[in-house]
Amino acid sequence: LQNGDEVAASRWYSAAKHRSVRLTNSSLAGIAIAAARKGKLDFSKSIVEDGHKMGLNFSVATYVSLAQEASKKGLIEETQSWQQLSQQHGLAPDVRLFEAVLMAVAAAATADVATADASAPDQPAEVARRCFQEAKQKRVKLRLKTFNALIDAVGKHEGLKAAERTFAKVIEEGLRPDRVTFTMMVNVAAKSRDLQSAEGWFRAAQEAGIQADLVMYTALLDAAAKAGRADLADEWFQEL
């Protein structure tokens, strides 16, 4: 797997099984996660399925790692399958699995068509909202990172208004938006070519006592560039 040779890895794995080598849940989890990191998702899934047939149980951390690897590639259905499989095997709902689905939705907006889950039947933003509602219904303790992931997901697919509605939920929940939250809002505004809103969110971050970093400034400069306001870009660049 380290060399990306799935065929050889599969052959060695089959040989181990046929020789009755004792395979533990931790060893199978390690192989599955390594395969997922190399993009060998089908092989990864077959390893976990074998483990279940052997009567082995995997930890929630294993499912989280597998879901996160799928989410990085924008594979929404694959990420959801790991979340659902963990619950089917009796594990309590984990906020990190829900966040992985939200991150998969966001990644699908920018991932290569060849790797993103473009064939998924549902609209990505709707998948994100349903995932979020399911987490609430199952009384999963939501954290700011969960909301940030939702802002990123709906913002990339539906634009600024959807992101702003999600930001309002952050306040309703009594959470304090952080630098990541505001940077995402500035970024969504920039992508929507709404320079006024981008600057407004940037100033709102400053008023909240949040020191802008390079990522937030870059999002703001991007908004100015998209609006053809090189003069503002120069002005803000001087603040860096």
123-132: average pLDDT = 90
pLDDT score for 13: 59
pLDDT of residue 3: 46
Q: What is the pLDDT of residue 74?
A: 92
Decide if pLDDT at 116 tops 50: no
Work out the pLDDT band at 163, boundaries 50, 70, 90. very high
> 54-113: per-residue pLDDT in tens?
888 999 999 999 999 999 999 999 999 999 999 999 999 999 999 999 999 999 987 543
Contact 91, 63 (CB under 8 A): yes
| pTM for this predicted structure | 0.81
**What is the pLDDT of the chain when averaged over all its residues?**
84
- pLDDT class of 222 with cuts at 50, 70, 90: confident
More confident residue, 203 or 54: 203
221 token code pair: 């400069």
Cα(119)–Cα(108) distance, integer angstroms: 11
Q: Can you tell me the mean pLDDT for 37-48?
A: 85
